[in-house]
Structure formats: structure tokens, C-alpha cells
Amino acid sequence: METLGEAIREALLSGEPYDKVMRTRALVRAFRAGRLAARFPVPMPERPAWPAALQLLPPSQMPRRGKAGSQRTRIALWHSLAHIEFVAIDLALDMAGRFGAQMGHEFVGDFLSVAADEAMHFALIDRKLRTLGSHYGALPAHDGLWEAAMETRHDVAARLAVVPMVLEARGLDVTPAARGRIAAQGDSHGAKILSRILDDEIRHVAAGTRHFVALANRNGRNPQKYWKNLVETHFRGSLKPPFNDSAREAAGLSLSFYGEVA
């Protein structure tokens, strides 16, 4: 029987987008059906495989999207979203594979479910990009999301604090405005995609927050103070309002965590 760790590693090292999506879906189905041995005998890669043609640039060197409402700007927006969702597949897989032995079955199941959602999100956005005459990898992207993963690769608490509770939570803040702009352009299909993503991301942030709080409590730490210390240590950016307080609250990420930091 193939092990869970081996299956996750194989998916992480699949660089072609369709292959990564299909491998992720297959391993999640196999996990749920009990067809993977719950062992992690192989290390997770330092970097996942991404499309060979994808050009990575520092965030400061990313090209401007262009005139609002133009075809170029629309493609740039959807390409940026595709990159976020593609990397999110790897972030969720790495979370399960890197920390699963330490954190247990429920933790693994939660983050494999996140990976399956992110694979679905990517597939929806990639299909949208193709209707616009483009595809993932046609434009440059930045590496900031995986840099956060590398910064927290030795500490599950830090990974939970930064990835679900900062980076994914930021998606809760910015997605409604992006959805509004897309709807105002007459793109109801695109707005529906972002609504679906927003609903799922609330669950993702909730999973990360729930496991973080449980870990903090097991270690005798105050969850809010512990989170703030980890963010100050491991997150290179800053928490910037406006915040989607209602969505964050629905995910269990109350103002007691981020209010004073902001």
C-alpha cells in the first residue's frame, strides 16, 4: 500500500497544472477511502514543482496590470488569482505532509480537504483564463506565498499562524471588492467563481484557526498572544485594513487576534 506521505510528495512534485490537480484529487479520494497507509516515510520537498514556463519575479518587479476594465487587465487579474490558487494547493499539501505525523489524522484530513478545494478553484480559474484567450504561466508571478511556507517550514504553529490566519485571511478581505468590480463589468460568471472561493476560504481559515488554538492550548499558551508573537517573528509584511470582520469572525478569527496588531 502506498503511504500518504509518498502520495503527497508525488503531487507536490507534479509541475504541470492539470497533473497536479488530478493527482491532488486522486490522493484525497484515496485518503478518504482508506487506501493510503497513514505514514510519512519521505520528506516533503523544499519547493514544489511549478510549470517550467512560469516566470517568477520579486513582488516589486511585477508589471502593472494596465487600464481598468481592459482585456489585458482582466487577464492579469485572473492570472494572479490562478497563481494564488495553484500555490494554495501546494501550501495545503505541504501542511498535511510536513506536519501530519505530528498533528494527527483530523489535521491531515482537514488540510487535504483544503487542497482538494484549492485544486477545484484553480481549475475554475484556469478555465476562465482560457475563455479570455490566455492560460496559467502566460504572465509572470511572484514567489511571496511560498517564501512564507519556507519561513515556517520547521514550526507547525508558525505555519498555521501565517498561512491560514494571515495570508488566507487576507483573501477574505480583498475578494468581496474584486467580486464587486468583476460584477460591475458585467461578468456574472466570474463573480460567481469568486463567491464560491470566498465561501470555501472561510472554512479554510476556520480550519487553520481551530488547529492553531488547539495547539496553543495544549502547549499552555494564550492563543492570541502566541499568534501575535509568531506573526511578528515570521511574517515579513504587515496586516493592513480594511478587514472583512464578519468573514473573519465566521472563521473563528476574531478581533482579539488581529485588532491591536493592525
The full 3-state SS of 184-236, as one line of letters, equals: HCCCHHHHHHHHHHHHHHHHHHHHHHHHHHHHHHHCCCCHHHHHHHHHHHHCC
The whole-number pLDDT of residue 61 equals 78
Which residues, 6 or more positions from 78, have their beta carbon under 8 angstroms from its beta carbon? 125, 128, 129, 132, 134, 190
Helical H segments across 132-187, by residue range? 144-151, 156-162, 169-184
Q: Which amino acid is at 190?
A: G
pLDDT by residue for the chain (262 residues), tens only, comes to: 899 999 999 999 999 999 999 999 999 999 999 999 999 999 999 999 999 999 998 877 787 776 667 888 999 999 999 999 999 999 999 999 999 999 999 999 999 999 999 999 999 999 999 999 999 999 999 988 999 999 999 999 999 999 999 999 999 999 999 999 999 999 999 999 999 999 999 999 999 999 999 999 999 999 999 999 999 999 988 898 999 999 999 999 999 999 876 5
The whole-number pLDDT of residue 169 equals 97
The whole-number pLDDT of residue 131 equals 96
The whole-number pLDDT of residue 64 equals 75
Distance of CA 234 to the CA centre of its chain: 17
C-alpha cell at 136: 496559467
C-alpha cell at 97: 505532509
**Secondary structure (3-state) at 37:** strand
Task: Give the domains, in start order, of the chain with CATH numbers.
Answer: 73-258 (1.20.1260.10)
C-alpha cell at 153: 517550514
pTM (predicted TM-score): 0.96
The whole-number pLDDT of residue 262 equals 52
